[in-house]
Structure 1
């Protein structure tokens, strides 16, 4: 296992040495603004002002590095690249342990780990994007939460604190996966905590959530154009995914990029001016959200078609989801094919485990299916599909285990009948 993780780190560092790139987009803009002393601001363009487009942990870490070693400098990007790679490998290490406690043999888990470490399916986000974007940290927190639950069979009120804090951090970093995490923790605790202590456990969870989210929500209420609990961009993301042109599948990547340029303030001067005219990013996103919900209400069949497509794409992605924002179409198709194959094995494996009454497999099922359902009204891009990917790969190893076990049983049955 150690050799595989070391090889994974070496391959990614080798990959980074040839990319000579830094993460871009709103998260980078915010990190640069923080490092330059402009505050948590300017997600779309310099001079925009206060923002809540992203939450502060990952951009804050990047800003700390930029403030010491220079924004976008080679040293800064190398340090953040190592941080991003470390998150990916930590995620795989934690899932390796968690699936071992679910009964998957070491040899099969090593196969899953080898694939994750050595096959460059998501090398770009693992080495570049997640220097400033939150996907790598969200994946690692998801794996940590899952690992902690599998490691602790008996739980007291005091022992719920680590789970409560991890779940709160996950919700803060990525609320989509945070909802799934809280559902897992709820089921886990209900099965282990006496009913008389349920209130205390709930109080611990609520206190942890308030402690993590509260200061950010208060800050947003003070500096933003309207109250924002976590992020201001939900209406914008909704409008990017749910619109009439998206129903046509002739050129989904081109349609997505065209829509991005039409309404995303980072992508052009016209949407940026529209955002400023609306009164700020939160008000602009809220207006887009209202318009989109009106379209959904007027076109339920088209909206349902898109929603089902997004759920499928969250687990079984299309090639354009990897190539639209950069990268070759051929490479995107190949990566999508690999992920679909592994996702099929993973979903089948989880289903077989649940049918066999291995109840603990409900947790990876929730962590994969619930976020996909939440993505129904949003367009999954590769930064989002990544979070399910390591879970699906390890779940695929469980599928192989079940198929081997089934084959052995059939052989035993045949041999027993022959003896009779």
Structure 2
């Protein structure tokens, strides 16, 4: 089997089969059947409303009306499936489960290919795949959340871009078709999940500066910006018609920022109780008072009012804001057991946190060691992780957010362990590894 195509390796295919069985077994044990209709908060509610009415609506409560709380792609896809097969049928549950797991598993395979192009040895490639497929820390997200939420799609698109960056670093600049693919998928990613799009753009900036011709960079920028502008304009027009505000993105910033930055958050005791209390105090998906405000003034006006209060507090208390930012940064990179209360499954919180923290810390150490030893193909990965972490630290990280870096760190973690076992970790510089086609 050629190293250039490690995703066709029989061992990896066996890992995929085992990983799929593990996830279906989890669904059977925890939810009673391998294919069952399950909710995932606001995104699921919007998808159901879309299935029943053809409108993206009711994010916070039934009867709310049109919403811009979520970007449209993933709830619309799930809503179309439920409109076609039924909102709570075995058929729609099976299709949506396979859609969710399929996005995630394909993303894992694309990342496997990316790190093969980065020059990782086969043992490290298999090790990274084994971590993700046999230790399903984020299994509720993989099989439930990403039926409706954008995380699976965002990871898949980000994985494609990281793979293209690895190929570009090997001296194989993309042809025109490749440039068009980079531009359009980059625009789609930034539209669907702006923080992930920004992180990918940061990684591409370094890659383009070192490995792409100026003409190629300008083509990608021009086409990508045009495509992104067209998507944002269409969404803004829809929002002006539906909710009365020409909003080019989501309306939820003013809700998510106050969930993370407020005086009581400085108390580090019983964080799960504190977060839950805040949820029922200000979030319209849980708070009756907030729902009343949304009914009276609209979701955008409510979010802006909360945002103004929160930003005022943050400006007046810079030290408190800094403390919270650093805490959120740590919790994003190394999810704590209490955070797994809010993942759709409260089981095995300590074990899942331990695995996630271990992989994350080993992965970060692997990136640092690799860059120190001349493994420059790790640079886009490091930039992606750093850019994403710095953005999400403004909010209260949930494991659904940490999932966006966990698979990317699995292979540097496996690479570091492989280097340590081979006794080569103390060497100051790696020989440059090339994968032959």
Q: Name the counterpart of 1:140.
A: 156
CA distance 1:106–1:197, shift in 2 (3 Å): closer
Q: Name the counterpart of 1:246.
A: 265
From 170, 182, 185, give the equivalent of 2:189: 170
Comparing 255-264 with 168-177, greater Cα deviation is found at 168-177
Q: Name the counterpart of 1:34.
A: 50
CA distance 1:364–1:267, shift in 2 (3 Å): same
CA distance 1:196–1:137, shift in 2 (3 Å): closer
Aligned-partner Cα distance in 1 for 2:356–2:127:
15
Pairwise CA distance, 1:409:
6.8
Aligned-partner Cα distance in 1 for 2:128–2:418:
12
Contact 1:4 1:117 in 2 (8 A): yes
Aligned-partner Cα distance in 1 for 2:53–2:113:
42
Pairwise CA distance, 1:99:
0.7
CA distance 1:97–1:232, shift in 2 (3 Å): same
1:213 lines up with 2:229 in the alignment: no
Cα-Cα RMSD: 1.9
Comparing 134-143 with 221-230, greater Cα deviation is found at 221-230
1:382 lines up with 2:399 in the alignment: yes
Pairwise CA distance, 1:275:
1.9
Aligned-partner Cα distance in 1 for 2:305–2:380:
37
From 122, 131, 154, give the equivalent of 1:106: 122
Contact 2:146 2:152 in 1 (8 A): yes
CA distance 1:13–1:348, shift in 2 (3 Å): same
Pairwise CA distance, 1:198:
4.3
Aligned-partner Cα distance in 1 for 2:418–2:134:
22
SS of the equivalent of 1:159 reads: helix
CA distance 1:382–1:123, shift in 2 (3 Å): same
Q: Name the counterpart of 1:6.
A: 17
1:341 lines up with 2:341 in the alignment: no
Q: Name the counterpart of 1:85.
A: 101
Pairwise CA distance, 1:88:
1.4
CA distance 1:221–1:393, shift in 2 (3 Å): same
Q: Name the counterpart of 1:317.
A: 335
From 285, 288, 292, give the equivalent of 2:310: 292
Aligned-partner Cα distance in 2 for 1:2–1:214:
42
1:187 lines up with 2:206 in the alignment: yes
1:301 lines up with 2:302 in the alignment: no
CA distance 1:5–1:198, shift in 2 (3 Å): closer
Gaps of 5+ in 2: 1-11, 428-437
CA distance 1:268–1:325, shift in 2 (3 Å): farther
Q: Name the counterpart of 2:378.
A: 361
TM-score by length of 2: 0.89
Pairwise CA distance, 1:174:
1.2
1:234 lines up with 2:234 in the alignment: no
1:50 lines up with 2:66 in the alignment: yes
1:349-400 deviation digits (Å, cap 9, x = unpaired): 1011111232221111122111110012101111111111111111202222
Contact 2:50 2:57 in 1 (8 A): yes
Q: How many residues align?
A: 408
Pairwise CA distance, 1:156:
4.5
TM-score by length of 1: 0.92
CA distance 1:291–1:5, shift in 2 (3 Å): same
Gaps of 5+ in 1: 411-420
Aligned-partner Cα distance in 2 for 1:281–1:311:
28
Aligned pairs for 1:95-134 within 5 A: 95-134=111-150
Pairwise CA distance, 1:154:
1.6
Q: Name the counterpart of 1:393.
A: 410
Aligned-partner Cα distance in 1 for 2:217–2:92:
46
Contact 1:104 1:401 in 2 (8 A): no
Contact 1:241 1:378 in 2 (8 A): yes
SS of the equivalent of 1:27 reads: helix
Contact 1:135 1:387 in 2 (8 A): yes
Contact 1:53 1:231 in 2 (8 A): yes
Comparing 180-189 with 281-290, greater Cα deviation is found at 180-189
SS of the equivalent of 1:227 reads: coil
CA distance 1:157–1:186, shift in 2 (3 Å): farther
SS of the equivalent of 2:113 reads: helix
Pairwise CA distance, 1:162:
0.7
CA distance 1:406–1:105, shift in 2 (3 Å): same
